[in-house]
A and B are shown apart, each in its own frame.
Chain A
Amino acid sequence: MNKRALGDRGGTLVFTISAALLSSCLLLLFFSESFFDSFLLFFINPLTNRYYLGNMIAFMAPLIVAGLGIAFAFESHNFNLGGEGQLYSGSLAAVLVAIAMKGKPAALIWLFSFAAAAAAGGLIGALSGFLKRRLAVDELISSFLVSSIVVLLVDFLVTGPFQDPFSNFQATRAIPPAAVLPKILPPSSLSTGIFVALLVLLVGKFVLERTRFGFELRLCGANKDFARYAGIDEGVYALVPMFLSGALHGIAGALMIFGSYGRLLRGFSSGVGWSAIAVALIARNKPLALVPAAAFYAYLDSGAKSVMIGAGASPEIVGIIQAVIFLFITAARLPFLKPPALLAAHRRGGKAGDRGAP
């Protein structure tokens, strides 16, 4: 039974990845002038070109951290769809703190900025957890809606009160140069932020798998009725995982600012909050599996950008390819897209509808 389950899982993963790759090929065939050139640019260039390779690894950092945030939420059966807003607001908090601390030692700036990012993202996530606990508002809906509002609010702040008066971009002022994380592979944007991401990942793995908190969290996610039976206050595990999930998204945003952008550009996160969901779904919320999952996602993203610049494909194609990949991954992974309840129950030998979709 175990073997079969593993086989199923492996099968779906292979299917998902090949479908994503194949559809990317098809899109290239339709949208680019020379298919062969585009193909090379898409699949080979990100691995051989220093610039694209560096950017690809750099992009993994926020994906890993935000993916870990999604894993914390999903493992406790909380559906955080507000990653985008949490990440965006965390970034703003980090930038503002960094600018205010200009002239202080870099280590202090990092400490306070990342804490501010975590707090901002965390509070927004916790709001949905609070609404769920107090008013039984579905966190899937509330986190998405709250995030949509927050994104508009941050947009307003960036282009209004905090707009850099000396810049033509819609952006805040730059963070102190001393606080920018050291670059590793110039001219790409790869920085030591990737190590920060891996460190956060290891801590997250430890918390989830070895601590009492992580155990209770996962138990609440697996079977709330049993968790309650075992004397766990499941209300705590609506609130705290949503806070942590938001906090990790905030940190992911801060990593992008301190590692690559140096300031908050309007709309800079361009869907990282959503991509993190795809990454966590591929990794099945397993912390270590987030690394290859993020690598795969970043690879396709990097390929799409390489085609965009190298072969003059329109920027939309990048968006379309990302959307298609996301579609395939979520279709194969989301828990409420299960086979009909009866069949599923048949397979598990359990009761139909005993634990339905959230």
Chain B
Amino acid sequence: MRSVELVGIDKYFPSSGTWALIQARLSLNPGEIHAVVGENGAGKTTLMKILAGLERPDSGQIRIRGRTVEFKNPAEATRFGIGMVHQHFMTIPGLNAAENILFGAEPRTVFGLLDKKAVLRKAADCAAGYGFSLDVRRNAESLSVGERQQVEILRLLQKNCDILILDEPTSVLTDQEIRSFFSVLRQLKASGKTIVIISHKVGEIKKIADRLSVMKDGRFLGEYKATDISNHALSDLIMGEYESPRLKAKAFPPRPAPTILEIKNLSLHKFKRKAHALRDINLSVGGGEILGICALANNGLSELEDLLAGRLKPDEGGVFFQGRPYPKLRKAPWLDGGIAYVPSDRIGRGSCSDRSVAENIVALDRGSFFPHGLLDSAKAQARTLKAIQVLGVKARPESKISQLSGGNIQKMILGRELSEPPAKLCLLCEPGWGLDYASLRRTYKRILEIRSRGSAVVLISSDIDEIMELSDRIAVLHKGGLTGLVTNGPGITKSKLGALMMGLENVYSGSRGTAGRDHE
């Protein structure tokens, strides 16, 4: 018997006027890893939210082990053993991992108080039982993204969920974390759990999934055994088209324009109880150049982002933009002296979730949308429509950001920050996050175009493929210090960068002065 069958599911969102699902279906076998694949906005997440009881379908049937059910809320779905881990983790800071895992079902003492010992014991047993190497005593804030994901999964497991839905589980993980995550998945599968992964990363799906269902524009396209379909055929199905993955190979301009961003002797001693968050960083980026900066999690990448975003003040050294101290308040990228900035925190920082798409775009350039201090709605509308078109955001100017999928929010931010005319300096943090294949291509193309028009691009990313594909030079951070500043080329391999990121090698020759652009 199928463990789950969804048949003829329709879902209409009146607020955005779109059909998210049209006669969508899905069937899951017990004990399999099943991938649901498709572009951003294909309806994957909506379909899964329906299965998890978070959304209700307009029509269609849900059958669990042959029984037709109707979920009014997630708790009812949980009773049928269905649980979902969302794209954005919901660990509660201030509680430890164990309390997060048992949230809402904590063991109590006879007086009805929280039994902290029992909480720790129960959570530790649960983690050990499924082969997780998580220390449940640790505080939620101190957990890495991968560990927080484990907390989320354990939370479902201790509720006896045997059908686990994971929304884009690998998008936030580093390569190593993905490997250990996959072994966790195989272990769960071996213990009889059914796992659904929402994803659009073709390579990964083929590695881990047994079967896959393809969705496009809210419709079900087909169901395949992972071994039966080639990578190319699969991306053809998802995109409806196939482009060569490598855009690169444009030569680095021989004489780059003068330095645009310069980081001099920058140190950040203590940050969030971490000693030496950043140590003696010297970097400079010229016009027409892309500098990729990569590191494993917790090695200074986010601190560097915050410094360049003006959120942190360095303890030593400084940051300069076109020879002047880095501006305190950012101007919109399309203004003179403006800086484009795509933050890694797209929901908290890059967008305002309870405001409309139009307001999120207008917010960046209040001067021209509020001539004489008063709103010019026609102009705001025009610019919004343009930005939406540039990267194909599936939304209307008046849609609220909270109604958009993660990938669409990212597209909105990219559309806004990379619009015409390009900024002199583009600070792009994890720009490819959550994007489907076609949008990723379009984004990369645009980044390279902006480079060729003389902008300096700083690409901060934990995705090595992205770094290798786009960068002219690559800087590697380990424990807050530079372990490498290399020119990208045939000699640069993933394993080479990996060794630098893990601090196994150090090829950084950078004494001050020569540490800048190595091609000069």
Contacts and interface: CB of A to CB of B under 8 A. Distances in A.
Contacts, number: 104
Nearest to B15: A2
A354 B54 contact: no
Contacts of B400: 2
A352 B92 contact: yes
B74 A212 contact: no
B94 to A, nearest CB: 8
Nearest to A232: B329
A151 B343 CA distance: 47
Interface residues of A, number: 33
A350 B406 CA distance: 10
Contacts of A320: none
Given A222-B355, A354-B347, A349 B402 contact: yes
Interface residues of B, number: 45
A342 B359 CA distance: 27
A286 B169 CA distance: 40
B76 interface: no
Given A3-B15, A215-B375, A222-B355, A229 B350 contact: yes
B347 A350 contact: yes
A213 interface: yes
A342 B103 contact: yes
Select the residue from B341, B343, B349, B403 with max chain A CB neighbours within 10 A.
B349
B105 to A, nearest CB: 12
Contacts of A341: 92
A203 interface: no
Interface in B322-346: 329-332, 341, 343, 345
A230 B348 contact: no
B14 interface: yes
Nearest to B400: A2
Nearest to A218: B355
Nearest to B331: A231
B402 A231 contact: no
Contacts of A352: 90-93
Select the residue from B330, B353, B403 with max chain A CB neighbours within 10 A.
B353
A353 interface: yes
Given A215-B366, A231-B332, 15 more contacts: A1-B15, A212-B373, A212-B374, A215-B362, A222-B354, A223-B355, A225-B348, A226-B351, A229-B330, A229-B341, A231-B330, A346-B90, A350-B402, A352-B93, A355-B348
The 4 A-B residue pairs whose C-beta atoms are closest, nearest first, are A212-B370, A2-B15, A223-B352, A352-B90
21 contacts: A1-B13, A2-B400, A212-B366, A212-B374, A212-B375, A213-B373, A215-B366, A222-B352, A223-B348, A223-B352, A225-B345, A227-B363, A228-B329, A229-B350, A230-B363, A231-B364, A342-B92, A342-B104, A350-B88, A351-B88, A351-B348
